[in-house]
C-alpha cells in the first residue's frame, strides 16, 4: 500500500464506521465484513475478493493507533482525498490540490494565476519543504530526496490468538485441528504430547504487516479433555493407577495393564509391593519427535470389604503367624515429634 492510497482511500467508509469510531467498533465492523466477503464463502467471486482485500487494508491501518493517527493527519491535509502535483510545473488550473492547502496555510493566494500563488515542489531541494512535513509523518528525515508515496515505515502485523480443545488421546498422539479467527479458518498441526494450557505458535499466520512488514503469528491455546484412567507428566510419561489384591501384592504376581490404545502390557509386581509404589514400563509412554516416555504404573492394594468365613480364618492365621515379626508403626511417634 502506498502513501497515495492513504490519500485517496476512505478506510472508514470501507468498514462502514464513523471517523470517531473506537477500537471495539472498528474490530466489530471488520469481523462482520470479513465473514461476509471471505473467499471461502464467495469462491470465484472477484468482486467479493476485492472487497475482502479492501476491508483488510482498512483494518490493518485503523486497528493500529500510530498508523491511524498518521492516516487521519494526511487525509486532513489532503482534504479527504485530493491528488497533488508531483512537481512545480503541474497544471495551473487544478484547484484543491496540496499547493492550495499549503498556500493558504502560509499566506499564498488561492487564485489560478500570477505570482501570488505559492507552489510546493516535491522535487529534491532545501529542507523545510513539503517533503519534510510528510516525511516526518511517515518516519522519514528531512534529508530525504522528496516525498515518496510508499515511505511509510514497515510494521509487523499483530499476533492473533485462538484456542482448540482436544480429546486426551489425540493430544497424546498429535492431531490436525481447524480454528476460526477474524473471519478466516486456519488448519494447524498439533504435535504429539501437547499438554493442557500449552500454546502453539504458527509463524506468519496472524494479521498482515503494514508497508511490507512481516505478518504476525497465530497463537493457539490447547485445552485437553481429562482421561478417566490416564494422565501425562511433563516428561512425556503416561501414568495410571492399577488396583491389585492383597495376595498379589504380598506374594508377587505378573498382571496385565492397559495401554492408551487398549492393548495390554504385562507388568511384574514384586512380592511385598506396598500400596503407592510406582512400577515403570520402558518406552510405553508418549512418543514425540524428540523423545519417548515410559508407562508408570502406580500400585493400589485393595482391601476386601467383606470376607467369607474361610478367608477370615486365613487372615487370622496370617496375623498370628506374623505377630511380633515387626512393628509397622515403630517410628511413627518419633517422626511425628520432629
Per-residue pLDDT, 75: 82
Burial status of residue 304 (CB atoms within 10 A of its CB: 0-12, 13-18, 19 or more): exposed
Residue 325 lies in a domain: no
The pLDDT tens digits for 229-263 are 999 998 899 999 999 999 999 999 999 999 999 89
Task: Yes or no: say if 281 and 265 are a contact pair by the CB < 8 Å rule.
Answer: yes
CATH number where 68 lies:
1.10.287.110
Task: Yes or no: say if 148 and 3 are a contact pair by the CB < 8 Å rule.
Answer: yes
Residue 189 lies in a domain: yes
Residue 331 lies in a domain: no
176 shares a domain with 109: no
**Per-residue pLDDT band at 102 (split at 50, 70, 90):** very low
236 shares a domain with 302: yes
Q: Is 17 left (phi over 0), alpha (psi -120 to 50) or beta?
A: beta
Residue 266 sits in which domain range? 231-307
Residue 51 lies in a domain: yes
239 shares a domain with 215: no
- Final residue of a structural domain among 195, 224, 253: 224
The pLDDT tens digits for 42-81 are 878 888 888 888 888 888 889 888 888 888 888 887 764 4
Residue 266 lies in a domain: yes
Per-residue pLDDT, 330: 83
124 shares a domain with 10: yes
**In the chain, how many domains are there?**
3
Which residues on adjacent β-strands are paired with residue 64? Answer: none
Kindly report the pTM of this predicted structure. 0.52
Distance CA 138, CA 132 (A): 10
246 shares a domain with 165: no
Which ranges in the chain belong to alpha helices (H)? 3-8, 11-15, 23-37, 46-62, 65-77, 98-105, 130-137, 168-173, 246-251, 309-322, 332-336
99 shares a domain with 177: no
DSSP-assigned states of every residue in 42-96: STT-HHHHHHHHHHHHHHHHHTSHHHHHHHHHHHHHTTTT----SSTTS-TT-TT
58 shares a domain with 164: no
- Final residue of a structural domain among 189, 224, 259: 224
- Final residue of a structural domain among 102, 137, 172: 137
3-class secondary structure, 223: strand
CATH number where 282 lies:
2.60.260.20
Nearest CA to 244 out of 262, 256, 232 is that of 256
Residue 261 lies in a domain: yes
277 shares a domain with 187: no
121 shares a domain with 70: yes
167 shares a domain with 126: no
pLDDT at 161 exceeding the cut of 60? yes
Residue 150 lies in a domain: no
Distance CA 41, CA 57 (A): 19
Residue 112 lies in a domain: yes
Which residues on adjacent β-strands are paired with residue 109? Answer: 117
116 shares a domain with 11: yes
Instruction: Name the maximum alpha-carbon separation found in the chain.
Output: 125
Distance CA 202, CA 219 (A): 6
131 shares a domain with 71: yes
Amino acid at each position: 500500500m502506498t502513501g497515495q492510497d492513504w490519500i485517496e482511500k476512505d478506510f472508514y467508509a470501507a468498514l462502514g464506521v464513523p471517523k470517531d469510531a473506537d477500537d471495539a467498533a472498528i474490530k466489530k465492523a471488520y469481523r462482520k465484513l470479513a465473514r461476509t466477503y471471505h473467499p471461502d464463502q464467495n469462491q470465484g467471486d472477484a468482486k467479493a475478493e476485492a472487497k475482502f482485500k479492501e476491508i483488510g487494508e482498512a483494518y490493518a491501518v485503523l486497528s493500529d493507533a500510530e498508523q491511524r493517527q498518521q492516516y487521519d493527519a494526511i487525509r486532513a491535509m489532503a482534504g479527504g482525498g485530493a491528488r497533488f502535483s508531483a512537481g512545480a510545473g503541474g497544471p495551473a488550473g487544478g484547484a484543491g490540490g496540496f499547493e492550495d492547502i499549503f498556500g493558504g496555510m502560509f499566506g499564498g493566494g488561492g487564485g489560478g494565476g500570477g505570482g501570488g500563488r505559492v507552489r510546493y515542489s516535491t522535487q529534491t531541494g532545501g529542507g523545510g519543504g513539503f517533503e519534510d512535513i510528510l516525511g516526518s509523518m511517515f518516519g522519514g528525515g528531512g534529508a530525504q530526496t522528496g516525498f515518496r508515496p510508499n515511505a511509510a515505515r514497515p510494521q509487523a502485523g499483530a499476533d492473533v490468538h485462538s484456542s482448540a480443545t482436544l480429546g486426551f488421546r489425540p493430544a497424546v498422539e498429535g492431531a490436525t485441528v481447524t480454528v476460526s479467527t477474524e473471519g478466516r479458518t486456519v488448519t494447524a498441526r498439533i504435535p504429539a504430547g501437547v499438554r493442557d494450557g500449552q500454546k502453539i505458535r504458527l509463524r506468519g499466520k496472524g494479521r498482515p504487516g503494514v508497508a511490507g512488514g512481516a505478518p504476525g503469528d497465530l497463537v493457539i491455546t490447547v485445552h485437553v479433555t481429562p482421561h478417566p484412567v490416564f494422565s501425562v507428566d511433563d516428561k512425556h510419561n503416561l501414568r495410571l493407577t492399577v488396583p491389585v489384591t492383597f495376595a498379589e501384592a504380598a506374594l508377587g504376581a505378573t498382571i496385565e495393564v492397559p495401554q492408551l490404545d487398549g492393548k495390554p502390557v504385562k507388568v511384574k509386581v514384586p512380592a511385598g509391593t506396598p500400596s503407592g509404589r510406582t512400577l515403570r514400563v520402558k518406552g510405553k509412554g508418549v512418543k514425540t519427535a524428540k523423545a519417548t516416555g515410559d508407562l508408570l504404573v502406580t500400585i493400589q492394594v485393595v482391601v476386601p470389604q467383606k470376607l467369607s468365613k474361610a478367608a477370615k480364618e486365613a487372615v487370622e492365621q496370617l496375623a498370628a503367624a506374623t505377630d511380633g515379626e515387626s512393628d509397622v508403626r515403630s517410628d511413627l511417634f518419633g517422626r511425628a515429634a520432629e
